[in-house]
Amino acid sequence: MTLSLQHVVKKYKDFTAVNDLNFTIGKGEIFGLIGQNGAGKTTTFRMILDLQDQTSGTITWDGVPIKKVNRDWLGYLPEERGIFPQMKVEEQLFFFGQLRGMNRTELKKEIDFWIQRFDLEEKRNAKAETLSKGNQQKVQLIASFIHKPKFLILDEPFSGLDPVNRDLLKNAILLLKEKGMTILFSSHQMDNVEELCDHLCLLKRGVSLFSGSLLDLKKQYGKTKLTIRTELPVEEFSRLSGIKEIKRERDEVVITLIDESYAKPIFDFVSNGNYIEKFSLDYLSLDEIFKDKVGGDHA
Extents of the domains making up the chain:
3-213, 223-282
Q: Which residues contact residue 167 at a Cβ distance below 8 angstroms, ignoring those fewer than 6 apart?
A: none
Q: What is the DSSP letter of 88?
A: B
Closest C-alpha to 263, from 288, 278, 280: 280
State residue 299's pLDDT score.
Answer: 38
Q: Does domain 3-213 have CATH number 3.40.50.300?
A: yes
* CA gap 31, 199 in Å, rounded: 5
pLDDT of residue 72: 87
Segments in the chain below pLDDT 50: 297-299
Sequence-distant (≥ 6) Cβ neighbours of residue 19 within 8 angstroms: 9, 206, 207
Alpha-carbon gap, residue 13 to 2, rounded angstroms: 31
- C-alpha distance from residue 80 to each of 7, 22, 69, 129, 247 (Å): 28, 26, 25, 15, 38
Task: Report pLDDT digits (tens) over 77-111.
Answer: 998 878 899 999 999 999 999 999 899 999 999 99
Are the CB atoms for 38 and 204 separated by under 8 Å?
no
Nearest C-alpha neighbor of 243 from the set 231, 228, 226: 226
**Residue 10 burial (CB count, 10 A):** 22
**Helix, strand, or coil here: 239?**
coil
Q: Which residues contact 232 (CB under 8 A, 6 or more apart)?
A: 253, 270
* Upper half-sphere CA count for residue 213 (Cβ side, 13 Å): 3
Q: What is the pLDDT of residue 296?
A: 53
Give the 3-state secondary structure of 28-63.
CCEEEEEECCCCCHHHHHHHHCCCCCCCEEEEEECC
Contact 138, 102 (CB under 8 A): no
Question: Rounded to an integer, what distance in angstroms lies between the CA atom of residue 53 and that of residue 223?
Answer: 42
> Which pLDDT value is given to residue 80?
83
Q: Specify the CATH number of the domain 223-282.
A: 3.30.70
Q: How far is CA 87 from CA 95, 114, 124, 128, 227, in A?
A: 10, 18, 11, 6, 52
SS3 label, residue 227: strand
